[in-house]
Amino acid sequence: ITLQWKALEEFIKDIFCDTVNLTNINEKLKIQNQKLSWQWSLNNPPDLILRDGDAIEVKKLGSETSISLNSSHPKDKIYSNDSRILPACRNCENWTVKDMIYAIGVVKEDSISNLWLIYGDCFAAERDIYDRTFNSITNAFTTNSQLKFSPTNELWRVNNVDPLGITYFRIRGMWWIEHPSKVFDYLPIAKEGDFVVNVLMLKSKYLSFPIEDRNTLEALSSRDTKILEVEIKSPNNPVRLLEAVLITFTR
């Protein structure tokens, strides 16, 4: 699928707003305004929020390599009390927690060859696991009483490094996560084709969608489109298996 002038982020927005084929910009914006309550900022998750629905984080890659999440750890869900959430995003709706979709696209020469739409609770552990690691590291820094630290959304900032007290040193964490194709290589995921899509969600999430939507989707099942009930390893306890639904498409 050729993106032409569109960035991957715009293409994902069009997918969820059903505006892919609209050429009238004003009509497109009107529909997107109705269907979205938040649209991305550069460095703060999420990239999109569907009105009264899920949050979406878009990641563009050149190949199926590990995914850089920058200073934001993997998220099973997204919480409004996360310090990295911008106030405008926090107040875009009356919300406290939302399901999180990672839209991970491999883009080569302005074309998408591989797209994953995967819910965070299939992929990432509970946030306490990541917070414990982050807090352990930041606490280790403060044991050095010779340095003056300031808490930040990064690991720490060391103040007054020089005699004039005018230099500071930022200590930044960088989170990475493996590509879903590697994480779920034990599933019958779609791999070969000019355009490949894999969608993964817990079965409970799939069943939460309107029956009309599920019937429409299941009617598309064919040689190219498959809807499979699978079991995946729990991100919080790998020996526990979770019921999930895998949807694949190849062209």
Amino acid at 123: F
pLDDT at residue 90, rounded to an integer: 95
Residue 111 tokens read as: 């074309």
Residue 220 tokens read as: 């598309």
pLDDT at residue 29, rounded to an integer: 93
Question: What are the tens digits of pLDDT across the range 50-103?
Answer: 999 999 999 999 899 999 998 888 999 999 999 889 999 999 999 999 999 999
The dihedral built from the CA positions of residue 175, 107, 181 and 40, taken in this order, carries a sign that is: positive
Identify which of 176, 138, 174 has the alpha carbon closest to the alpha carbon of residue 155: 138
Q: What percent of the chain has pLDDT over 70?
A: 90
Task: Provide the terminal-to-terminal Cα distance of the chain, rounded to the nearest Å.
Answer: 10
Please compute the mean of the pLDDT values over residues 31-47 and round it to a whole number.
89
With 0-12 / 13-18 / 19 or more C-beta atoms within 10 angstroms meaning exposed / middle / buried, residue 83 is exposed
Identify which of 196, 190, 188, 191 has the alpha carbon closest to the alpha carbon of residue 231: 188
Residue 157 tokens read as: 């900032």
DSSP calls for 116-142? EEEEHHHHS--HHHHHHHHHHHHHHHH
Helix (H) or strand (E) holding 215: helix 211-219
pLDDT at residue 110, rounded to an integer: 75
For residues 166 and 11, what is the distance between their CA atoms, to the nearest angstrom?
45
